[in-house]
Homo-oligomer: A and B are copies of this chain.
């Protein structure tokens, strides 16, 4: 950006993330309507475990961009829901490996379908090219600041 002045409208929306708030809220609503009783934050943890089961909490922090206390509490609640278990690591006694239960595994297909449909809803009328560019911008922002 050669010129360092933004119109105020851009400033606000970029900072507050209204679009992702709207997606998150819609996804939560769609989960609820479909009888899926997890929060979107819990989903965001399960999402990574479905891809790689048995991650450490620190790995979940990195993957979900949250801090350690937040992950501790999210995992607490997922344990309560019997969707995950903490297994002490054999190689490093500080580490817990978070593993999916059978119920946790079972949720994947249904949740991912709902999430997929929600994103389709959100991106109605947006072209593939626009999505690609938006992705690039958001990735650059994230890389600039993480």
Q: Chain A: residues with CB nearer than 8 A to chain B? A: 1, 3-6, 8, 10-27, 40, 44, 47, 51, 64-65, 112, 115-116, 118-128, 130-131, 133-142, 144-146
Q: How distant is the Cα of A5 from the Cα of B112 in the complex, in angstroms?
A: 11
Asked whether A17 lies within 8 Å of B19 as measured between CB atoms, the reply is yes
Q: How distant is the Cα of A122 from the Cα of B140 in the complex, in angstroms?
A: 8
> Chain A interface secondary structure, helix, strand, loop or mixed?
helix
Copies per assembly: 2
Instruction: Please name the residue on chain B nearest to A22 by beta carbon.
Output: B145
Instruction: Please name the residue on chain B nearest to A15 by beta carbon.
Output: B23
Q: List 18 A-B contacts (CB under 8 A).
A: A1-B123, A1-B124, A1-B126, A3-B128, A5-B116, A10-B135, A13-B138, A14-B119, A15-B23, A15-B44, A15-B118, A16-B24, A16-B40, A17-B19, A17-B20, A18-B65, A25-B145, A131-B137
What is the distance, in angstroms, from A129's C-beta to the closest C-beta of chain B?
8
